[in-house]
Chains A and B, each alone.
Chain A
Amino acid sequence: ETGVTQTPRHLVMGMTNKKSLKCEQHLGHNAMYWYKQSAKKPLELMFVYSLEERVENNSVPSRFSPECPNSSHLFLHLHTLQPEDSALYLCASSQEYVNTEAFFGQGTRLTVV
């Protein structure tokens, strides 16, 4: 596999459920990101990890909890979500935190019911 792979591609969850999104990059990059893409809104940066250390948390509610166990994997743990959290969640990676070319995965389409 190459590039940035996200699983699952689609997820429907109830507001009381706990689920996790997974991202894996096969590019040897050191920085990974979570973005949220909602309809009619710009992509919003949620979290940044550089060398497995969180370097950015853009005022994201605590019901979203990221985890970066190593430089190739990134998770987004979800619990007690709201319907307005329904969106496309995109993972990206770049060679270094200061390297501006970000490569995106295909995203996970999340629906909260």
Chain B
Amino acid sequence: QQQVKQSPQSLIVQKGGFSIINCAYENTAFDYFPWYQQFPGKGPALLIAIRPDVSEKKEGRFTISFNKSAKQFSLHIMDSQPGDSATYFCAATPYNQGGKLIFGQGTELSVKP
């Protein structure tokens, strides 16, 4: 119930390519879904987040798609750049429980020049 399942575990794309990372959850109490980006030697940093009242949110080259009925959400990265190479974590939480984030396992993205 408390798990967030993330796939794939690793992803290699060419510069300019399109990356998709998928997450699924069980707990219907979750109503806030952030994505975090983590570079080696750094802590995770919030990248983009979505609430379930919208099906899509876009910020620059990053887009979250949300499917409430399927309890799935995904991160899309357009025109992937070598600087996007990092580990990406999806997370979920009931909004009233703040930083009590339930994280997915992480996806290591490598963008080849």
Minimum Cβ distance to chain A for residue B23 (Å) = 11
Residue of A nearest to B32 (CB): A100
A96 touches B44 (CB 8 A): no
Binds B, one of A14-22, A67-75, A78-86, A103-111: A103-111
Chain B contact residues (Cβ within 8 angstroms of A): what range?
Answer: 20 to 34
Instruction: Check if A4 is an interface residue, CB within 8 A of chain B.
Output: yes
Known: A98-B95, A100-B34. A41 touches B105 (CB 8 A): yes
- Tally A residues with Cβ within 8 Å of B: 27
User: Chain B residues near A94 (CB, 8 Å)?
Assistant: 98-99
Query: Does B89 sit at the interface, judged by CB under 8 A?
Result: yes
Report yes or no: B98 in contact with A43, Cβ–Cβ below 8 A: no
**Which of B42, B96, B99 interacts with A102 by CB under 8 Å?**
B99
Which parts of B81-113 form the interface with A (CB within 8 Å)? 89, 93, 95-106
Q: Closest CB-CB distance, A33 to chain B, in whole Å?
A: 5
In the bound complex, do residue B43 and residue A4 qualify as a contact, i.e. CB atoms below 8 Å apart? yes
The listed residue (A33, A93, A96, A104) touching B45 by CB distance below 8 A is A104
Instruction: List A residues at the B interface (Cβ < 8 Å).
Output: 4, 31, 33, 40-45, 48, 56, 90, 92-94, 96-107
Residues of B within 8 A of A (CB): 4, 32, 34, 36, 41-46, 49, 89, 93, 95-106
